[in-house]
């Protein structure tokens, strides 16, 4: 390999790493460009198929009930946030732990915060530092929370506690397995309300199927099995706002909606 080749490889790898592609799924590389070219060639000679075959059966969701039970038992034993963080770190029931994550990422912020911010899952920076929302998206979130007067009034966590490889969206099964720990965190912090950052968090916490653009800015009720009911407000994810700065206005309106309810005299709910 020439020096120029090595530089080209380095540059391509840096590009993919920046885009979040930092994990290998297979032992052997796959040349997708060659695959695509072959498919194009085949398409050029194959007559268009009009009748379609029956759609492939949906892949059955994995049975994670055992892991959920185990998470419930471990979460219930945690009487403090420190104990809960240790329980999460010791839990082996979430596959993400074994897909390249460096460590468990649980929370940051005030232990008695009136607002709990729940994001999707840790990214690369969070995985490296062991704290949620400390990368670029987290910095934007912090600036927004500060501007809304919420800087020291939030406890920040995620729906899953290990970084999904390549920053993919966590699966519903991964979120379900981590949910008992999230619910225990809510029980220990006792926030007055939840702010759900992004579609993956909003859908999983509220068990809804609509997209975030439909859900955001509207109040929902979050119900725990023990009868706890909390107001929950979905909003746009800060990573989305970094890509679509024009949407910041909507997220800002959501924060104002939240602070108005939080600071409403006498009756936060």
Q: Which is nearer to ligand URA, 138 or 180 (CB)?
A: 138
Nearer to ligand URA, 151 or 264 (CB): 151
Q: What is the rounded distance in angstroms from the CA atom of residue 24 to the CA atom of residue 63?
A: 25
- β pairing state of 154-158 and 108-109: antiparallel
- The CB-of-168 to ligand URA minimum distance in angstroms stands at 12
Q: How many residues does the chain have?
A: 269
Q: Which residue is nearest to ligand URA (CB)?
A: 119
Q: Is the dihedral of CA 123, 222, 176, 236 positive or negative?
A: negative
Instruction: Give CA torsion, residues 126, 130, 131, 137, to 10 deg.
Output: -10
Residue closer to ligand URA by CB (options 123, 180) is 123
Considering the complex, what minimum distance in angstroms separates the CB of residue 150 from ligand URA?
17
End-to-end CA separation in angstroms for the chain: 65
Residue with Cβ nearer ligand URA (132 or 234): 132
The footprint of ligand URA (CB under 6 A) covers: 119-123, 126, 132-133, 135, 137-138, 158, 239
Which residue lies nearer to ligand URA by CB, 123 or 231?
123
Which runs of consecutive H residues, i.e. helices, occur in the chain?
A: 3-18, 32-45, 65-77, 81-90, 124-129, 136-147, 172-189, 199-206, 212-215, 238-243, 248-262
At its nearest, how many Å lie between ligand URA and the CB of residue 169?
Answer: 10
Count CB atoms within 10 A of the CB of residue 249: 10
Residue 137 or 205 having the CB closest to ligand URA: 137
Q: What is the 8-class DSSP label of residue 48?
A: P
- Return d(Cα 35, Cα 37) in angstroms, integer: 5
- Tell the smallest beta-carbon distance from residue 125 to ligand URA (Å): 7
CB of 128 to ligand URA, least distance (A): 12
Smallest gap from Cβ 170 to ligand URA, in A, equals 9
């Amino acid at each position: 390999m020439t020096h120029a080749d090595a530089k080209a490889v380095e540059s391509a790898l840096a590009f993919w790493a920046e885009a979040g592609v930092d994990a290998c799924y297979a032992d052997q590389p796959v040349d997708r460009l060659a695959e695509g070219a072959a498919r194009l060639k085949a398409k050029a000679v194959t007559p268009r198929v009009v009748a379609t075959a029956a759609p492939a059966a949906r892949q059955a969701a994995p049975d994670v009930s055992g892991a959920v039970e185990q998470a419930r038992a471990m979460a219930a034993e945690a009487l403090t946030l420190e104990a809960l963080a240790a329980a999460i770190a010791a839990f082996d029931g979430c596959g993400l732990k074994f897909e390249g994550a460096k460590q468990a990422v649980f929370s940051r912020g005030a232990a008695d915060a009136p607002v709990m911010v729940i994001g999707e899952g840790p990214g690369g920076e969070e995985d490296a530092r062991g704290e949620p929302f400390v990368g670029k998206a987290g910095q934007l979130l912090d600036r927004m929370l500060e501007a809304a007067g919420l800087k020291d009034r939030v406890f920040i966590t995620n729906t899953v506690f290990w970084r999904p490889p390549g920053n993919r969206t966590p699966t519903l099964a991964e979120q379900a397995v981590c949910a008992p720990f999230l619910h225990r965190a809510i029980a220990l912090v006792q926030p007055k309300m939840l702010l759900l950052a992004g579609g993956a968090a909003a859908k999983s916490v509220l068990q809804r199927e609509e997209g975030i653009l439909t859900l955001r800015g509207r109040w929902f009720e979050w119900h725990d099995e023990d009868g706890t009911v909390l107001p929950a407000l979905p909003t746009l994810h800060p990573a989305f706002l970094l890509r679509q700065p024009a949407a910041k206005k909507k997220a800002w309106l959501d924060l104002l909606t939240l602070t108005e309810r939080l600071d409403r005299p006498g009756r936060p709910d």
